[in-house]
Amino acid sequence: MFFTRTTLLACIFVSCAIYSAYGMEQQELIGNYKNPAAVKDVLSGKRPVANAAWWGFNESDSTAVLQEAIDSGAGTVIVPYMGKDWIVRPLKLRSDLEIVFEPGVVITAKKGEFKATGDSLFKAVDKHNITLRGYGATLKMQKKDYLTPDYEKGQWRMVVVLAGCTNVEVLGLTLRDSGGDGIYLGAGTDKKQPCKDILIKDCVFDNNYRQGISVTSAENLRIDNCIFKNTSGHSPGAGVDLEPNNSDGKLAKIVVSNCISENNEGPGFVIGLHKLNSTSSDISVLFYNCYVTGCKWGVQVLSNNSVGPKGLVEFRNITGENTQSAGIWVVSKTNSFDLRFAACNIVNAVTKPVYPQTGFDVPIFVRINRQGSSQEAGGIEFADCYVYNDKNLPSFMLRPYEQSSGALNVKGTVYVRNLSEEKVDLFSGAESHGLTINPLPR
């Protein structure tokens, strides 16, 4: 086909006009501003990805905007950076949803709201297939306000609540200033269905009121490469707390790895098994390659029931440094589950004694029921753990609950180096099953 110069120029002009119109249309749909046409496309299913700004942005209260975007049916909802915080009241998540918070985005709990003790920033109950992704983004509440007389006292104003949810990922976010936990994971509406298949990765939990993360019932949970810091206000005040509310609570296939817990009012990591018993599901928990510094305790395992669940709790390659009291603190009345510490390091413990009258502030403290007064299975093992201390203290204290003679099911090897006076006395009141304390050369 032969084109004259005039014909060719006309074709180019028409093509440019079509391209320009298409480009303008695309720009109109993609922009970070209110766009009813784009919203209509999302609601009709033409667009699987939605921009929350298409519903509008209200710098004083964007609750309706974000909730409508969440409820739109879009597979992915992008929350764009608008130069100002997204101020919101409590929001509810749905199933089959990914929310992408752009870098710099801050979702902020509206001041004067969240009056109910259970009001949380984001909540999902019995939902599935949810991703909250926000590298460089922040979800924050108003912790100081919740401590004033204007608010009813409570420990349940969470940043994110997941109850009975399955297949959830929380990635890259900073979660801070809650009136409870950064993230709470527990059972659903039937009180028995745990959270399942959960990944929390690359997140920072800062200045939360009760815990960075609380887990009351979960199965197949992975917490990886997270930082937990400055938790304060309500006990336990930990970085991570695994603590079922009742005997139906599950702690199954839980792995916490490559995490840092620092400057928390309570322990770096704590497992509380008071509510579990012999009817409870087996527990399986692994803390691996984690670091604790500046907390009241390093890691704690607490079980006050005389009959507990079976299973294994293991701390592997954990370092606790500069803790106010013990780097490892165990109080257990049951021998039902195995408790293992492998290649753990306790460095410069007892910087500010918590129990100065009792002398229980030592690098490693274990109080356990005498074997024979509860279940025979299980026990506590220390596999090549190390204590480095510069204080005139016992490095390991082993105490029975009962002051009668008998063997305690505690074994393993702990290496100790005290920089001042060598003192590795074992206070037991009973014999152990083969616990060896080996001094290291100074």
Structure tokens given for 434: 């083969």
- Selection from 346, 365, 370, 341 nearest residue 355 by Cα: 365
Q: How far apart are CA 33 and CA 64, in angstroms?
A: 15
Provide the H-helix boundaries in 31-157. Answer: 36-43, 63-70, 143-146
CATH number at residue 230: 2.160.20.10
Q: Is residue 220 part of a domain?
A: yes
Task: Count the domains in the chain.
Answer: 1
The domain of 204 spans 75-439
- Selection from 243, 244, 239, 247 nearest residue 265 by Cα: 239
pLDDT at 348 (0 to 100): 95
Q: Check residue 339 and report its DSSP letter.
A: E
For the entire predicted model, the pTM comes to: 0.91
Low-confidence ranges of the chain (pLDDT < 70): 1-30, 369-378, 401-407, 419-431
- Selection from 177, 201, 181, 323 nearest residue 241 by Cα: 181
3-state secondary structure of 257: strand
- Helix (H) / strand (E) containing 367: strand 364-368
Q: Is residue 3 part of a domain?
A: no
Q: Is residue 32 part of a domain?
A: no
pLDDT at 167 (0 to 100): 98
Q: Is residue 26 part of a domain?
A: no
Q: Is residue 57 part of a domain?
A: no
pLDDT at 293 (0 to 100): 98
Virtual torsion, Cα 117, 122, 128, 134, nearest 10 deg = -150
Q: How far apart are CA 96 and CA 72, in angstroms?
A: 11
Classify each residue of 245-275 as buried b or exposed e, where b means 16 or more C-beta atoms within 10 Å of its C-beta. eeebbbbbbbebbebbbbbbbbbbbbbbbeb
Q: Is residue 200 part of a domain?
A: yes
Q: Is residue 44 part of a domain?
A: no
pLDDT at 11 (0 to 100): 40
pLDDT at 407 (0 to 100): 63
The number of angstroms, rounded, from the C-alpha of 310 to the middle of its chain's C-alpha atoms is 24
Residues 6+ apart with CB under 8 A from 135: 103, 171, 172, 173, 202
